[in-house]
Structure 1
Amino acid sequence: MGLCDARTVIITGAGGGLGRAYALACGAEGANVVVNDIRREAAEAVCAEIRAAGGTALASDDDITQLATAQRIVDAAVAAFGEVHALVNNAGICRDRMFVSLTEADWDDVMRVHLRGHFCLANLLARRWRDAAKAGQKIDARIINTSSGAGLQGSVGQSNYAAAKAGIAALTLVQAAELGRYGITANALAPAARTGMTEQVFADMMKAPSDGFDYYDPANVAPLVVWLASAESAHVNGRMFEAAGGMISMADGWRTGPKSDKGARWQPAELGAAVGDLLARATAPQAVYGA
């Protein structure tokens, strides 16, 4: 028996890197895997690997950033497997530059793939699951989003990527709050692994060792994704996980910190001392990556 037996999982950006690792791991645990990637040959190759290991998979190269084409992914999954139980929003791109060097295209492309890409499939599936729940069906569904350490702490040279990933973290909180009543959970992870997006920036740090444990192997993150996609994770909602190597942690997000309440309107000249007091009592933020 696999952890995801009889569950259908759509994984975006699954033709390589982390997405491929997730697809292989979900397939090994009994899931019907929809491997979505804009590179059709890459998606087909991952499906072939899953089938060779005895699993079930379907390839898709439809665009995740448009509702009409995202609907085709859902329709194909339902036609092949009857229902969808989990969505892993993994696809992403980088257009790294210092903030003052960013172009409109650098900004818009990253927002489109990350934020629109996280919206379209999740919106379509959430509607489907909500309607089924309202019709009396028992729903046990999962949305698994992908943020990043850059989205949680910021990253020099990646303001567009960091902003998109921070948006995904907030999106996850709202999805969890709104959709939990229908049997849908939404969680996110910030993985650290060797992929096509990281190999140029972190090539030396993340290169595979000649022997021993390969800390940055994408396969190290996959077990957490499998578990989150399974029925076992139904009690976990609105959480942000960080995962790298053999480490998993639960991120502690923005929360109201030290307060100073005058009980009346502040005067501008009073705020220097008030803010100084708050700074003295506040926990220092984690450093921005690369700072």
Structure 2
Amino acid sequence: MTRICEGRVVIVTGAGRGIGREHALEFARQGAKVVVNDLGTGRDGGGRSGAPALAVVEEIQALGGYAVANCDDVADWDGAARLVKMAVSAYGRLDVLVNNAGFLRDRMLVSMTEHEWDEVIRVHLKGHFLPLRHAAAHWRERSKAGERVEARVINTSSGAGLLGSVGQGNYSAAKGGIATLTQVAAAELARYGVTVNAIAPAARTRMTEEVFAGEMARPDTGFDPMDPANVAPLVAWLGSTESGHVTGRVFEVEGGRISLATGWAHGPGVDRGARWDAAEVGEAVSRLMAEAPDPEPVYGASGGPGGPGAE
């Protein structure tokens, strides 16, 4: 059987449970050497334990694969630096970074505290930037030394980041930021042989178990559309050398379905050729709205879809 990530060195953050764990296991099955990063916190982000990361390492080793555990905080500058250094120290280099770590602090905006906002932005958005920043420096150094780099970054956005989600203003803002960070990083890092893509997964995890509690395996086929393992094959392929022509993209993945998300784009416009009179703006906006398609509804809004998936 062809193993599409044979010999590649992969970091997966938040890999102790859920979608991240499935990423780590799938990369190992595809021949990669894996750095399993997880703080081992509770569902609410409290506490720390090395047990979840070590358990995944043991699973990979039982499969005959190679893995090491890392319990650094990816939203801390020095912690993210140590994570990248661990991969290089253990296996000689880094080829793939999968940013997946995160948690929720759901609240309506009128009730959300500053701490709940800051913590979610820190863990998701800063927790994507810092490992990416240190990994990018590693790849730039290798590229400038004349090495042919075929590196991959796979970020984790969400349907909430693409469309918004009622009661998840902090999470939606962080995940939307991750989607645009992905596009910027793809443009900036291409010169060093790095592709950067993102996924917006829907699956059953600690963060979404209540949302998808009623989604079970289909009795006729046994296929569970909310199994987090469904997400991993796409991520493993994006981490392989086969995906070098794909960058700056966001993929939605749920069950057996993969779709390519399309984001903001320039729509219809009107140019007056001079400064607008405020009284005339309303008519112009009405014409533009009549020409443009209706926006996708926000998750959880009246008439909108249910809650989005998360890692």
Is contact 2:96–2:239 with CA below 8 Å preserved after alignment?
yes
Mapped pair 1:43 → 2:53: yes
Q: What residue number does 1:32 align with?
A: 33
* Whole-angstrom distance in 2 between the partners of 1:170 and 1:61: 27
Q: Letter of the aligned partner of 1:102 in structure 2?
A: M
Gaps of 5+ in 2: 41-49, 302-311
2:165 to 155, 164, 167: 155
For the 8 Å contact 1:147–1:189, the answer to whether it is kept is yes
Structure 1 CA distance, aligned partners of 2:223 and 2:268?
Answer: 42
Paired residues of 2:216 and 2:225 also in contact (CA < 8 A): no
1:36-60 C-alpha deviation (Å, 9 max, x unpaired): 0002100010111111111111111
Residue 141 of structure 1 aligns with an amino acid whose one-letter code is A
Q: Distance in 1 between matches of 2:39 and 2:188?
A: 30
Tell me the equivalent position of 1:108: 118
Counterparts of 1:213 and 1:132, CA distance in 2: 43
Contact 2:9 2:95 (8 Å CA) reproduced:
yes
What residue number does 2:211 align with? 201
Query: Greater helix percent: which structure?
Result: 1
CA distance in 2, matches of 1:83, 1:220: 28
Distance apart, 1:66 and its partner CA? 1.1
Query: What is the distance in 2 between the residues matched to 1:135 and 1:80?
Result: 21
Contact 2:70 2:83 in 1 (8 A): yes
Alignment of 1:80-159 (within 5 A): 80-159=90-169
Q: Percent identity?
A: 59
Q: How does 1:1-291 map to 2 (within 5 A)?
A: 1-39=2-40, 40-204=50-214, 206-208=215-217, 212-291=222-301
What's the CA shift string for 1:117-167, capped at 9, x where partnerless? 001111001011012111211110011100000000000000000000000
Give yes or no for contact 1:99–1:157 (8 Å, CA) kept in 2.
yes
SS at structure 2 position matched to 1:286? coil
User: How far 1:67 sits from its partner (Å)?
Assistant: 1.5
Instruction: Give the distance between the partners of 1:176 and 1:243, measured in 2 at CA.
Output: 20
Between the two proteins, the alignment pairs up a number of residues equal to 290
Aligned partners of 1:154 and 1:191: how far apart in 2?
14
Query: How far apart, in 1, do the equivalents of 2:209 and 2:125 lie?
Result: 23
TM-score (norm 1): 0.97
CA distance in 2, matches of 1:256, 1:47: 46
Q: Letter of the aligned partner of 1:116 in structure 2?
A: K
> Whole-Å Cα distance in 2 between the matches of residues 111 and 203 of structure 1?
27
Instruction: Name structure 1 gaps, 5 residues minimum.
Output: none
Deviation at 1:169, TM superposition (A): 0.5
Runs of 4+ that moved beyond 4 A: 207-211
Contact 2:157 2:199 in 1 (8 A): yes
Instruction: Indicate the residue corresponding to 2:304 in structure 1.
Output: none
Could you tell me whether the CA contact under 8 Å between 1:194 and 1:207 is conserved in 2?
A: no
2:207 alignment partner, SS class: coil
Instruction: Return the offset for 1:209.
Output: 5.1
* CA distance in structure 1 between the partners assigned to 2:193 and 2:145 by the alignment: 13
